[in-house]
Structure 1
Amino acid sequence: MSKSLIFLSSVQKELAAERRAVKDFVDNDPLLSQFFTVFLFETLPASGRRADEVYLQEVDHCVLYIGLLGNIYGFEDSEGISPTEREFDRATTTGKERLIFVFGSDDTARHPKMQQLVRKAGDQVVRRRVNSIPELTAAIYASLINFLERNGDIRTLPFDAAGCPRATLEDLSSEKMRWFLSRARLQRNFALPETTAPTDLLTHLNLLDNGAPSHAAILLFGKAPQRFLLSSEVKCAHFHGTELRKPIPSYHIYKGTVFELADQAVDFVMSKLDYTVGAREQGPQAPVSYEIPQPVVAEALVNAIAHRDYTSNASVQVMLFSDRLEIWNPGELRPPLSLDSLTRPHPSIPTNPLIADPLFLAQYIEKVGSGTLEMADLCKAAGLRPPHFRLDMGCFILTLWRPGKTSKPKAIATGQAFGQVAGQVSEQVRRLLAVCVGALSRQELQERLGLRHRDSFQHSYLQPALEAGLIEMTIPDKPNSSNQQYRLKMTGQVTRQATGQVANEVTGQVRRLLAVCEGALSRQELQERLGLRHRDSFQHNYLQPALEAGLIEMTIPDKPRSSKQQYRLTEKGRLLLAAPGPQESAQ
């Protein structure tokens, strides 16, 4: 590929260092050096030709003219015109692309003729003032990139619009696109019918780059998005205390499309938050209230996934502590947004508009820039501190506060022993109760649970069970005795019996499902009660585990795929609901 010639014009002696810096910068830049070479008159060997003939011929040959204008006008010929002005005039008459950079802001220090040349150049082209070599090279770099883009030599599309390297249409899921069409039509009255061909949908949403899927297309509808964008995964961790330290009781890395990531992350958090169930007389469905409102959690997580910087090697990190939920989102606020502006009405300025638009159509987010204000209002209504925003280490960090330890949610009687808050125990303690048969030593209990780490066992299992009065020591006056063993107390036996003495306890997601399963309900009704949008996530994390555990059953078991299929609690499921539920966050 032949390189384009840049003619660099200035008074040589005044700006010798700047001229050399520009040439070195272009010659050594990995991108610019592929397209340009810089001509400096002083690098030519001795010749019998007249100097003015040489430099004017080089102007004729160049593609780009760069003029550096300082204070000195330079040598004047018989007509009183300097070589610098001759070169500018020649570039003008021959129609060359001209880039003008003026050193300094004090025009009164310039030679009168240089002042005139600065004004003449400014009347014809946009000039840029600089004060140092770094400013000059940065400005030249931006101008040259712009020149290459306008001429089609390079393309620097936004991340979401740019083609995903090595990805083809075969890497997109037609099933996921059909799900999107169905949901978008239902939620936003989307114009395209559910029978729309995949390529037509992608074209309509501007998700193709020269016929190939863009980064946004892969993140929205990819079969395996993390195959191409590894850091697009979401990491979720749950800590019993207020600090980030091991052991980590629960840690998951979620993969999938942005829709699936949002659903999975929301499920992770909601399954570990405290909840209460209201009285049925308040309506046909007993309301379930979480310590942090579900819309607040969903808004925070979806915003992080939608607006993060996908060019970063970092992932969205979700960390649930005993006193707060923190969401770390790679990237920073886009101008003119600021941390302060998030607390008052502000415009919506998405980092990835081609990702944000389908999320809006599927009603995962709104476009009006009201999300942070709604979160604050919902937190206030729930008696929580307002959300806190900060920027740190290249990340936008959102903190949502949990209720104070002295202000636990109060359960409202429902007519059933259900969803009790006081005295609830963690999943770890429930597992301990399930294997505690007879009197056993610490080591025997650890072995039965498959745990290797003594500190983790004592912190997350043994100590909470002792403090809750569910187990007791056989030698209480000598707690550190080598002969010490542990056995169930009566309260522990009741708790274990109520849960069917199952060692492999149910997840928080399944418990949430049981909490809303009143009577016989369809899959869609259950999803709506749980506030879940994505069918695959619901079936994988809620419905199937509950069916396999025998906690719910089908009303038409011999026709599992019937359009009239409904689900109801089994006797085992009702017993589980009557027992104290998990309360990991209380640890």
Structure 2
Amino acid sequence: MDFVKKHLPDPFYQEEDKRISLRNKIFRETVVNILIHREFINPYPAKMIIEENFVLFENASKPHGFGKLTPESFSPFPKNPNIAKIFREIGLAEEMGSGVRNLFKYSKIYSGFEPEIEEGDIFKVVIRVPIKKENIPQVPPQDTPQAEELSKREIAILDFCKIPRSADEIGKFINIKDRKHLRNSILKPLLEKKLLKLTIPDKPNSPKQKYLYEGKAFITPHTSPQVSPQATPQATPQDTPQAEKLSEREMAILDFCKIPRSADEIGKFINIKDRKHLRNSILKPLLEKKLLKLTIPDKPTSSKQKYLSALKEIKNNE
């Protein structure tokens, strides 16, 4: 926990009349979970990797199920009940199942994003980190005069809309289900400030309408695909000969794949449903350029195959 305190922010938060450390709540819960639920006969090491905008935990597990976990789909299952009992006795664990509920509750307050929890032979948790002001490029007044008034959510929306997005996609991204509230209170102000634009301006109510941001890039907890050269030097021409040919979508995919992602996950991220088109026209060129790599290279068609960005690896090898 001392390592966490040293490297991660802890924004002020108060419940009733008492201050609560969101950072300690979230990361103590996650570390305790790793210790309680670990499959100890598996040699795979437990990991906590702190990146710029997120923290990744990986842990060997004996899965009770497979796939994404949510508070609604989660079913508590004691993998190491004796260890769990000891942690409850010393006050580091509460009732069974409370950990996941607390993780979702406090992560949303901490960074504005819910955690990503995936159960499998390797249990994975991704926790977003709040944006640090020094990491957000200042947009010159002539580009966006209202930039200094933007909230973290608005910055996240603009970064998300570097690829045209529908209102439904934006609503899911920021977890807003009320379409009227989304359009009138969130998207309309960004359109009025000329930060977002309509892809079909002559038909604002078209069912095919999408929203696009063409200004300078922001760094957000969710993505940072189009940041400036000093923020991601590995994407500059001298680091990767093919970088100058990359589209914004390809850059977004590479940033998304800093964590291993399946083809289905990538397809959903860039809104491509045709799996053959996705593999042959989008993923295959990135693999050929050695900008993406397979997690199971000996079995390219494996159902467990995932894709991992190789930009950082390329930079380190040069």
Q: Which has the higher contact order (CA 8 A, sep 6+)?
A: 2
**TM-score normalised to the size of structure 2?**
0.37
Q: TM-score if structure 1 supplies the norm length?
A: 0.21
Q: Highest Rg: 1 or 2?
A: 1
